[in-house]
Structure 1
């Protein structure tokens, strides 16, 4: 799994207990997973169809840097399924795991699903640049 981006936990990201709000982390996961999927497919016309199991494993607090690891789980004719792990950059402890995030490639005008033309083998061979 490649950890491709990072975010700083700011005061407006916290819940009443002073830890990272679950809704904020889900928003970030959806955005990061979309960016990953659209870069893999070289397509912008993707929609989130499904997010499967979500497991919150640890807390993050103001000032923590969290990083997002993403990997392709499966490739369909019109879809791409990814997994996302969010972890604390300093401790490497997993904060949240979101499995089975399904994106569907759509026609920009008709909004109906359309083949994206990629295979898992093609996508697995893509070399990604990760931040240092």
Structure 2
């Protein structure tokens, strides 16, 4: 799994128990999945269609650094299915695993738009370096 993003847990990210608020973490996951998918599908109109059940394994506290990993499971005709793992860099524990996140590429009218992609591409491979 590739870990693309790190977040520093700050006071505003905490719940009343003094640990990372789950809603904040899910927002970070959704944003990371969207950014990853937009880059892969080369379409800014890419949205979250589905996120599988979640199961918090551990948490994080103020000052901890977490990292979010995203991996492609499957390319559909208009979708991209991802898996996600978030881990605490300080404790080395997995915080959460989301088995399946489905992102869908849309056209201007908001309908599913086939993207024609079949494999993960890296930005460096798209650049014309002559």
Query: Structure 1 length as normaliser, TM-score?
Result: 0.89
- Deviation, structure 1 residue 128: 7.1
**RMSD of aligned alpha carbons:** 1.4
Structure 1 residue ranges without an equivalent (≥5): none
Q: Look up the match of 2:70.
A: 70
Q: 1:128, 1:87 → 2: CA distance?
A: 25
More displaced stretch, 43-52 vs 86-95: 86-95
Q: Look up the match of 2:113.
A: 114
Q: 1:19, 1:74 → 2: CA distance?
A: 33
Q: 1:96, 1:9 → 2: CA distance?
A: 15
Q: Look up the match of 2:57.
A: 57
- Deviation, structure 1 residue 40: 1.4
1:37-95 deviation per Cα after TM superposition (whole angstroms, max 9, x unaligned): 11111221101100012110001000000001110011100000101111011332101
Q: Look up the match of 2:103.
A: 103
Paired residues, what number?
Answer: 124
Q: 2:83, 2:12 → 1: CA distance?
A: 26
- Deviation, structure 1 residue 127: 4.2
